[in-house]
Amino acid sequence: MRARTASMDASAGGDWVSREYLQSTFALRMKQLADDPNVPLFFGRLDYAGGQSHVEGEFHIGRRHVSDVEGDPLVIDWRAPVSLPFYRATRADPMGVERRRRFGFQHGSLTSYEDEDLTSAAPSGEDYSAILEQEIERPRVGPMRDIVATIQPEQDVIVRSDLSQSICVQGAPGTGKTAVGLHRAAYLLFAHREQLTRQGVLVVGPNASFLRYIRDVLPALGEVEATQSTIAELAEKALRAVNPKWSVRGEEPAHVATLKGDARLAEVLSRALWSHVTLPTDALVVPRGARRWRVGVYEAEEVVTSLRNRGVRYGAARAMVPQALAHRILVRMELAGDSPDDRVQDAVARSKPVKDYAGAMWPAVDPARLVWRVLSDPELLASAASGLLTEDEQALLLWSKPPKSPASTPWTLAEAVLVDEAADLVERTGSVGHIVADEAQDLSPMMLRALARRSSTGSLTVLGDLAQATTPWATRSWAEALAHLGKPDAHVEQLTRGFRVPGEVIEYAARLLPQIAPGLEPPTSVRRSRGELEIVPLDSVSAVVAGVLGREGSIGLIAPDSMISDVGRDLTAAGVRFGIVGQDPAEDADPDDVETEFDQHLDLVPASLAKGLEFDHVVLLEPAALVAAEPDRITGLRRLYVCLTRAVTSLVIAHAQPLPAELS
Ligand SMILES: Nc1ncnc2c1ncn2[C@@H]1O[C@H](COP(=O)(O)OP(=O)(O)OP(=O)(O)O)[C@@H](O)[C@H]1O
């Protein structure tokens, strides 16, 4: 396939534009066909029996489609319908398959295979797969990898669910939510390539480190079309649309941010926006030639009222005002015996008196300025929030020292999300075909609305775990979140089989569940290894770390955020090399010496950034301080739950302060 692509001649394109286009298409295809010696072309085989399924023969299953010189298929894409039984067939329902074969690879070399005969009853223990277990047990090095070879039936149901269907996955730590979400994106891009390439697919994650951790999964599956973004980046775009230099740079107390994330703010903004529309007090008079044409006050009022009732966005309606007024004048002209055409109406609509009159009734509104005014002008807020927010809440919303202008405002994340909402009230936000929202439990109602408008004509995969909710504005139930997302009927699936955390560790972490999420089923571990859990006194960080440095695989040293710089200094003093999650290497650092996240043996992880990540070995420092750093106890315990569930093999808890009582 590579040779064929390489031999293609772009000069056949004729004109310059076509040649350039062809050349870039060929270059892209060559890139997609590039060989990765570590990633085998196939990982499974299905032998179909023919008969009922009308499919016969052997099919190799791989990450992408591969065809031979004649164009006949050698390897079938894992997402094709023919591949489905690889993930779903059972002895009870073999789906037309006689034999399923799994191939084992090490560093790209075929090392083993296993066959399952699906036509006979299984002798006991026969369903065990060493290849599957090896994949689940393998040490984790570097960023996240794909799981195409071992997607489990309950995961596959989610991955392949229909594009029109929005799905919400409540899943315990390590049950594969992130993996499933990314594979669903890849599946949908395959099954609806044309539609989704046009409309776009968006993957939303909690922070930049998390996005760096997952960024290679989709390209490894051959998908480069999906956009990956954080909610902050989305909201920042709304600021940048007003002024390209603006960014989210402000901080505010949790209870204020929570109030700004409340869905009632949507109505407040809507009222504040529409309060700009005012009814005229004088008639419109348009001189034309020797005549003066007049639109009376009541008629202008009718124009305003009918446009308001059309349910279009503020900006779209505003654009219609001059034409609507001009139309009234046109009618007058006709009544007076003239026969004006459309050009006359256009000219009248563009005339200064009409534009001024329309502009006064229906002024242009800049979304950032609107939010800035709502948060600094007590009168505007009081009228827009009447009956919605209490006086105390209004007082909380108002800036104590209002910035002089939107430009000098240090916008916070919650405020940027309000600007995004306001921008949508003025002008409709474009919708993509599908959004995968990870760690969605942490989004505020206003953030969920930001995703709702971006998927108004598309569907959503919502992933999260209520037990891992650590923002003060986190959602309390999936029904509530789905309502804000505009998909109240989305199906909620639960995943409880954990692929990351070994039994010993997950059982310890689950002690927190009755406090942090009483309604949730406790997770189980599918890992055969029970893992190791050690609780040790914390005398010196470097001594604790020295105890795990020799272990194979990645190490995450998770500490309360406030301890990170001290711990880093201790490690440096002890001569230990490490990267810090969430920090770019210094610009002047020697490139050979640069440690980037997830590329080295030891990562220092601020507790606030641990979410979604995993390491073979985790050393967790000072749980009590980690809990105390959060605004309330429950949030603190949830943060602890997140940090306790990052380990694939071993967890060492080192503490000087007494452990939180909830762990005993
Ligand atoms: N079917 C599978 N086969 C092999 N590995 C799997 C499978 N499903 C999940 N995993 C692995 O389990 C680990 C956890 O998966 P993932 O990060 O997607 O879980 P999660 O539910 O998002 O966890 P968290 O809630 O902690 O963020 C990953 O290393 C992933 O590759």
Task: For residues 589-616, give the mean pLDDT.
Answer: 75
Give CA separation, 340 vs 33, 336, 337, 346, 349, in Å.
63, 11, 9, 11, 13
User: What's the token pair of residue 98?
Assistant: 């006689």
User: Phi/psi at 150 (nearest 5 deg)?
Assistant: -135, 20
Q: Measure 176 CA to ligand 1 centroid, in angstroms.
A: 3
Specify binding-site residues. Answer: 171-178
Of residues 12 and 381, the one with the higher pLDDT is 381
Q: Is the pLDDT of residue 223 over 50?
A: yes
Residue 204's pLDDT is what? 96
Global pTM reads 0.90
Q: Measure 397 CA to ligand 1 centroid, in angstroms.
A: 40
Closest-lying ligand 1 atom to the alpha carbon of residue 468: 25
Query: What is the Cα–Cα distance from 598 to 213, expressed in whole angstroms?
Result: 7
User: What's the token pair of residue 230?
Assistant: 């954080």
Please list, in sequence order, all residues whose beta carbon lies within 8 angstroms of the beta carbon of residue 278, skipping any fewer than 6 positions away.
Answer: 360, 361
Q: Measure 178 CA to ligand 1 centroid, in angstroms.
A: 7
Of residues 588 and 220, the one with the higher pLDDT is 220
Closest-lying ligand 1 atom to the alpha carbon of residue 499: 12
Closest-lying ligand 1 atom to the alpha carbon of residue 175: 21
Pocket test for ligand 1, best of 505, 614, 651 (most atoms within 8 A of CB): 614
Pocket test for ligand 1, best of 134, 500, 506 (most atoms within 8 A of CB): 500
Residue 591's pLDDT is what? 47
Query: What is the Cα–Cα distance from 612 to 601, expressed in whole angstroms?
Result: 18
Element (H, E) at 233: helix 231-242
Closest-lying ligand 1 atom to the alpha carbon of residue 438: 22
Q: Is the pLDDT of residue 268 over 90?
A: yes
User: What's the token pair of residue 301?
Assistant: 């009022």
Whose C-alpha lies nearest to ligand 1, atom 14? 174
Q: Is the pLDDT of residue 228 over 60?
A: yes
Pocket test for ligand 1, best of 147, 150, 461 (most atoms within 8 A of CB): 147
Q: Measure 391 CA to ligand 1 centroid, in angstroms.
A: 46
Closest-lying ligand 1 atom to the alpha carbon of residue 495: 21
Query: What is the Cα–Cα distance from 2 to 417, expressed in whole angstroms?
Result: 46
Q: What is the dihedral of CA 288, 291, 297, 301, to 10 degrees?
A: -40
**Residue 603: pLDDT band with limits 50, 70, 90:** very high
HEC profile for 570-601? HHHHCCCCCEECCCCCCCCCCHHHCCCCCCCC
Q: Measure 247 CA to ligand 1 centroid, in angstroms.
A: 33
Specify binding-site residues for ATP. Answer: 171-178
Give CA separation, 141 vs 209, 245, 342, 399, 425, in Å.
16, 38, 68, 46, 45
Residue 195's pLDDT is what? 93
Asked if 130 and 136 touch (Cβ cutoff 8 Å), the reply is: no
Q: Is the pLDDT of residue 597 over 60?
A: no
Closest-lying ligand 1 atom to the alpha carbon of residue 465: 25
Tell me the percentage of the chain whose pLDDT exceeds 70: 96
Residue 202's pLDDT is what? 95
Q: Is the pLDDT of residue 359 over 50?
A: yes
Task: For residues 40-65, give the mean pLDDT.
Answer: 85
Task: For residues 201-205, give the mean pLDDT.
Answer: 95
pLDDT in tens, 51-60: 666 677 899 9
Element (H, E) at 373: helix 367-376
Residue 143's pLDDT is what? 79
Q: Measure 379 CA to ligand 1 centroid, in angstroms.
A: 51
Tell me the percentage of the chain whose pLDDT exceeds 90: 68
Q: Is the pLDDT of residue 133 over 50?
A: yes
Of residues 123 and 543, the one with the higher pLDDT is 543
Of residues 108 and 267, the one with the higher pLDDT is 267
Ligand 1, CB within 6 Å, residue ranges: 135-136, 140, 147, 150-152, 155, 171, 173-179, 465, 468, 499-500, 612, 614, 645
Task: For residues 415-443, give the mean pLDDT.
Answer: 96
Sheet hosting strand 109-117, strand order edge to edge: 66-67, 73-77, 56-62, 44-49, 97-106, 109-117
pLDDT in tens, 557-589: 999 999 999 999 999 999 999 999 987 655 455
pLDDT in tens, 508-526: 999 999 999 988 888 888 8
Give CA separation, 22 vs 10, 18, 27, 29, 69, in Å.
6, 6, 9, 10, 22
Asked if 424 and 453 touch (Cβ cutoff 8 Å), the reply is: yes
Q: Is the pLDDT of residue 490 over 70?
A: yes
**Segments in 467-540 forming alpha helices (H):** 478-484, 503-509, 513-516
Q: Is the pLDDT of residue 41 over 70?
A: yes
Pocket test for ligand 1, best of 178, 493, 496, 529 (most atoms within 8 A of CB): 178
Pocket test for ligand 1, best of 141, 156, 175, 609 (most atoms within 8 A of CB): 175
Average pLDDT, the chain: 90
Q: Measure 499 CA to ligand 1 centroid, in angstroms.
A: 6
Task: For residues 345-354, give the mean pLDDT.
Answer: 94
The ipTM estimated for the assembled molecules is 0.98
Whose C-alpha lies nearest to ligand 1, atom 25? 173
Q: Is the pLDDT of residue 596 over 60?
A: no
Q: Is the pLDDT of residue 594 over 80?
A: no
Whose C-alpha lies nearest to ligand 1, atom 15? 176
Residue 517's pLDDT is what? 92
Q: Measure 156 CA to ligand 1 centroid, in angstroms.
A: 13
Residue 278's pLDDT is what? 92
Q: Measure 610 CA to ligand 1 centroid, in angstroms.
A: 15
Task: For residues 413-440, give the mean pLDDT.
Answer: 96
